[in-house]
Chains A and B, each alone.
Chain A
Amino acid sequence: MALQTEQIRVLIARHKLRDVCFDLLGMFVLMIALLVLAALFVQLAIDGFERLNYDFFSNFPSRRAARAGILSAWVGSILVMLVTAMAAVPVGVAAGLWLEEYAPRNWLAEVIEINVTNLAGVPSIIYGLLALGLLVYQMGLGQSVLTAGLTLAMMILPVVIVATREAIRAVPQTIREAAYGLGATRWQVTRDHVLPYSLAGVLTGVIIGLSRAIGETAPIITIGALTFIAFLPPAPITATAPFVNFDWLFSPFTVMPIQMFNWVSRPDAAFHVSAAAAGVVLVAMTLTMNSLAIWLRFRARKRIKW
């Protein structure tokens, strides 16, 4: 039985209606999500606007809200991120490379794989407890920049490993075969081809991990970071030989989210303005890192095509 032209048109119109419905629904849902985020940020910016000046960045926290700044917080955040990156990148990338290029395909590899994926879902405060027991008490690293950096490194390690593996998997097998076909060893293939070609993806994963770590509060509070710090850690670079100094690793510290938390919990409303201003800075830091990740990915896509 062949359909009449008129019937076909009715049918198409009915199907098209559903198409349009889903289109609108999807757009609506997305708009809600984006608007909520935008409203939050705008509110924060309006609240904190009056505090956002040079002094805010260059002052230490103070009992008087008008003079309180985030110097120790943003310096602390950057130093902690430095430690986190230095610890998480080599370990995470090496683990990802090994799992993809070296690990035998057996039950042990599967167990490791499932564990890595599950680690990504462990609540961050658990990492804080682990760090308190292991790093602070057992290893005696104290409530220092080093402890905080290593704690956050443990937390983002699964993110880095998973991102590394995904980036590595995007390298076509034919490229590996080309290199092996010339007589390259597994290490040469990994070092000369797999790693360089997946580097942009790996960096993207690292930055996304770091931008998650920079906003973490719970594990840092758990290891006992101070909320009021009116001094900076010793400078890593000194004017006299040997020009580098690692004392900053063992210095007490505070970070942006903890500074914010401290101000938010004070009764004096003037401090809430400072908290909002710190929030704007923290969001700006995170967005900058994410933009960097997007830019890196875009550049790599342009350069490396298969």
Chain B
Amino acid sequence: MPVNTPPAAKAEVRDLSFFYGDFAALKNVSLDVAEHEVTALIGPSGCGKSTMLRCFNRMHDLYPGSRYAGEIRLQPDNVNLLGKDIDPVETRIRIGMVFQKPNPFPKTIFENVAYGLRILGEKRRSTIADKVEKSLRDAALWDEVKDRLDHLATSLSGGQQQRLCIARTLATEPEIVLFDEPTSALDPIATASIEELIIELKKQVTVLIVTHNMQQAGRISRYTAFMYLGELVEFGETEKIFTRPTKQQTENYITGRFG
């Protein structure tokens, strides 16, 4: 398939397969995730897009019966994230994740953002306070919560909770942030603010996002991968995927004929 090679790849996925027991949820997927860009994974339910996302931070390792094949090479140091010698904890420190449903800890707003720093052993209170403020600013939440950092995070609205989860992830300065349908539980206004935020974030981090919403992929991503039944059908610049797809399946999906 003709792929415009991204300027610099932050992660190179090579022949990635993933199995739940005997079931192959991902089959020989290869693609490059461009640095400081937004790459979107789209496709119908069950196509493996979330499964693929969760390979990046080895989330599958939490559950028995999962097995990876192939490689995800993180650049520039060329580490294979799926390598047997790599501790999943290391991977998750380097690669952050924002989930489908906002999942703040039932702790204070401050503690939610500070938690990542604490598990990395940061003890200096001023450093923690500075980083919490910076992360909340980066997540466009600071002005709304600066006077109530000691309130419970669960008292925030859904959209605010999701931005808090983004701030929580940003606090430890990950290299890639994975978004798993981050707006599917939110209303259109909260969705718009999260989308704006993601576009803004690519200056700092590389973004990989799974979305059910094709318009969303069109609005925020530079590259799009269309997946179907665990296979990568088509991958390229978003504009091209949406206007001149080369595969019939892609065209059918984006024109709304199935999915």
Contact = CB atoms under 8 A, between A and B. Distances in A.
Interface string A102-117: 0011000000000000
A303 B108 CA distance: 11
A305 B106 contact: yes
Contacts of A188: 119
A185 interface: yes
Interface in A166-208: 172, 174-185, 188, 192-193, 197
Measured as residues with beta carbon below 8 angstroms from the partner, the interface class of chain B is: 20 to 34
B234 to A, nearest CB: 29
B97 interface: yes
A105 B96 contact: no
B115 A182 contact: yes
Given A183-B116, A183-B119, A183-B120, A178 B92 contact: no
Given A105-B64, A305-B154, A183 B93 contact: yes
A280 B97 CA distance: 57
A304 interface: yes
Interface string B160-186: 000001001100100000000000000
B168 A177 contact: no
B119 A304 contact: no
Interface in B113-132: 115-116, 119-120
Q: Is the interface of A mostly helix, strand, loop or mixed?
A: helix
A180 B62 contact: yes
A306 B169 CA distance: 19
Interface in B29-46: none
Contacts of A197: 106
Contacts of A180: 59, 62, 92
Contacts of A306: 106, 154
Contact of A182 (B90, B106, B172): B172
A176 B89 CA distance: 13
Nearest to B62: A180
Interface residues of A, number: 23
Contact of A177 (B103, B106, B116, B120): B103
Interface string A72-112: 00000000000000000000000000000000110000000
B250 interface: no
A234 B97 CA distance: 58
Nearest to A106: B64
A192 B165 CA distance: 17
Contacts of A185: 89, 119
B149 interface: no
Interface in B200-248: none
B103 A175 contact: yes
A173 to B, nearest CB: 9
A174 B106 CA distance: 12
A174 B154 CA distance: 14
B152 interface: yes
Contacts of A175: 103, 105-106
A177 B119 contact: no
B50 to A, nearest CB: 12
A182 B99 contact: no
Given A105-B64, A188-B119, A181 B105 contact: no
A194 to B, nearest CB: 11
Interface of A: 104-105, 172, 174-185, 188, 192-193, 197, 303-306
16 contacts: A174-B99, A174-B103, A175-B103, A175-B106, A176-B62, A177-B97, A178-B105, A179-B105, A180-B92, A181-B96, A183-B116, A185-B119, A197-B106, A303-B152, A304-B154, A305-B106
Q: Please name the 9 residue pairs, one residue from A and one from B, whose CB atoms are nearest each other, closest first.
A: A183-B93, A181-B97, A174-B103, A182-B116, A183-B92, A304-B106, A178-B103, A184-B119, A183-B89
